[in-house]
Structure 1
């Protein structure tokens, strides 16, 4: 395993860092001011998108890009340090067309869309002309077990009719959102295979019966593009809008969520770096009892622990990316689950220490720390709660031990190394 960045990635890092310094950081205040004024800063974003695409910093996330598709084809391992840089400003990924949930939606459209679906939805998404959202999680069930999902997708002649309610539909309030990919129950037979009862279908946002009920706050923070509760009341779409085969929803969801999970982790590491940098700078400037608080041992411990924990998380993230590139998304499932837990927990831990160093000012919006903390807490649910990912890691370890036991079985039973008989 060699995680050294290639010459190509080093060049891209240099170009991306220059773009962040020259365009993203200077625009951060304007972005925040426009959002606080109650509207999404589309003119700002569109102008920056044009610059990013002209500089070849576009669709960096998609390893399977074809020659005629816009973007820079990178492996997951190559993309990781670039996503980390974008993650330092939580809004900047959209500038490079590398933002969730569009990245995950483009992934599955790239793999499963029909030629007409590609023309109508994937191509404008890849050009950054439209935005999309995804409807999976539901308020009435424990969506950590997707077999619970109750939204129905019912065939009616040449159409499907969708009924149900989703929430945490990220991006549904974006001015350019045109598409929602909905996962629901297409086979209502009680004796059907629980993993072949669900499908994914493409629903234009202007379809009659689709309505956004409310924007859900994340620990009292409202996203300008929305994490919404969305209702589907007899929403009728053509049968041609089915994504992949009917009943293949679980397979599509896994194909979508694997890369999406690790992309979140890559960006999280960038936000952790921001929190650590702010904490160190504040510790150097702030004095208590006649000396900078950076001189106190407990603060130094927090700084040292933060540095080591971020570096450990980055290495685990790179390993998961390497596994995906080398052996495929399915083979890297355990590694992705591991970094998903580690990165989300680390973000709240680093942000919490930084807030403590800042004092009460860390609770305000004068710094990004409050957002970093709240988003880190949300990440412990996004794309699966910690408990589901811990279960995946634990099952992997148990399976390996059982396989080892079977291979060392003797007449006397299992022989455990390091233990006396």
Structure 2
């Protein structure tokens, strides 16, 4: 128990990676060449076209390429050393989709996807000759790992898609498609946002308009969001998120092949192979809670963003406060637990701090800054966390103002 409590005091920096993953989301990448000659359209008309899109059937292939600017391999090793859990050195990846699909936050991946309305979706992650498939068919969600021959099964909540079984969103969209990303960005757009149409593109052989979204505010780490929208049916085909740091896009996600006709019913049929190990979702969840060295929950509304880590984060005196608005919004979390000296930290965590934490000081005192290309977080030595898609200076200014 003492070791468990000690480990919990060092989990906030690990949570930063979870924030980055949630902010970016789990998404699809790629585009074809050639700019089609299409009728002119205003940004307002294109947004209305996206809103009116009612695509419920499709199949195809997409690629996701993600570059958070974060040493995720070292992070994974650190987590494995602290938790002794799956995915670390010597461990095996979980077949649970809520854990397995987090690998999409790093590197490039190819996926196949199919959808037939709100009741049937299938996503297959390709890794060489191995495949990991996630299937939602009516009341059931199945996941199958061809490498380990393991099967995960869980009952789907009413109205949930394949992702909804684990994250709770309602709707007909595929997990992490450009449409989901576009909807979230457009929903958040307001006076702080510039939205324009910037030419056309060919994506997966389809004619598309390019919608460009940029922050008007200074201090955001987001340079732009570009959404390629199908000119015929308004379905977003490609999503590109770029950072003010430049270089590769943080997320470059889009279809390489897409067909909007109805997939065969057999595409969503799954039967566990003979001899496969089948794990029921409820049983795995209970086992995970029993063996979790961190336990506990985050403040309400941030559990998903932080990946479910960190006892003590829900026991803060001040809870969560939102500072600012629009693209420069910062979440302030008072953990209620001062950060101990790093000489007390487990060696795995010490390496983690050294790999992507920078010491900063100011009128607020001192703390450690954890950086990605989009989401940054400042952990002060007195136990406060400032996190957002904002620059280092914006976080330090918020901490200084909070004193």
Higher helix share goes to which structure? Answer: 1
Asked if these proteins are the same fold (TM beyond 0.5), I'd say no
Q: State the TM-score, normalizing by the size of structure 1.
A: 0.27
TM-score normalised according to structure 2 size: 0.28
Which structure has the higher relative contact order (CA within 8 Å, separation 6+)? Answer: 2
Q: Which has the larger radius of gyration?
A: 1
